[in-house]
Amino acid sequence: MTAVHDEDALALEPRAPQRVRIEAAPRPVDLVAAEHAGRLFLKALGIDPDAADTPDLARTPRRFAEAFAELLSPEPFDFTTFANSEGYDELVLIRDIPVRSLCEHHLLPFTGVAHVAYLPGDSVVGLSKIPRMVDHYARRPQTQERLTVQIADALAARLQPRGIGVVVEAAHSCMTLRGARATGAMTTTSALRGILRDDARSRAEFFALAADRTR
């Protein structure tokens, strides 16, 4: 019988999943104060939610406060990674992840999709964690450029893959509903890290897959 050294036995054991808790920075939410501010905001615009002839507006300031509290409150989650035991070394891509955020300049929504890919190193990530990461950084006043970079940098730091690619496509209501009123205009941003930035063939593969509407 062949003896198995302790270090050999450890190498044969599957590595347990690694979990890192992703928390939002604590921010007190005062719904009472937000509701009061919402009521004053509407009145300043000539809309009186307390007027007898607008009963349907009576609870609008409260709904306004609750809606923005939800939109601006990132949800904590566990970022779970697993050993890349199969040695998978090709692109992992999740397309069409919903993006919902608020433009930090006008506090109007921008919505669209994110396409996120990585080239695994020693670890792979639970697939549901990538959409959660996108949502985590979207739930705050944002610019699309910053959001794209934050997603890429967060995944690179926590997963340490050989490459990261992020593309975000979104419509900004601050541009479509007001100002230029450019209905239908879409904004595309990208962030690349590692091999997907440095290697032309890998970069081209990522962009081709991200743009492929036939899949």
3-state secondary structure 13-63: CCCCCEEEEECCCCCCCCHHHHHHHHHHHHHHCCCCCCCCCCHHHCCHHHH
65 and 149, same domain (yes or no): no
Element (H, E) at 147: helix 144-159
Range of the domain at 140: 80-211
Our answer to whether residue 18 is catalytic in this structure is no
Q: What residue type is 55 in one-letter code?
A: P
Which of 13, 46, 70 is where one domain is finished?
70
Taking each helix axis from N to C end, the angle separating 31-44 and 60-71, rounded to the nearest 10 degrees, works out to 120
Write phi, then psi, for 86 (nearest 5 degrees): -90, -5
144 flagged as catalytic: yes
| pLDDT in the model for residue 23 | 86
Enumerate the β-bridge partners of residue 189: 168
Q: Which residues of the chain have pLDDT under 70?
A: 1-15, 213-215
Is 160 noted as a catalytic residue in this protein? no
Predicted confidence (pLDDT) per residue in 181-208, tens digit: 999 999 999 999 999 999 999 999 999 9
Same domain, residue pair 52 and 88: no
Give dist(CA 115, CA 79) in Å, integer. 18
Digit-coded pLDDT (tens) for 149-171 = 999 999 999 999 999 999 999 99
Q: Which of 23, 70, 104, 145 is catalytic?
A: 104
Domain contains 6: no
Residue 105 near residue 175 (C-beta atoms within 8 A): no
What was the pLDDT predicted at 16? 83
* CATH code (residue 199): 3.30.1130.10
106 is annotated as an active-site residue: yes
Q: Domain check: are 141 and 103 in the same one?
A: yes
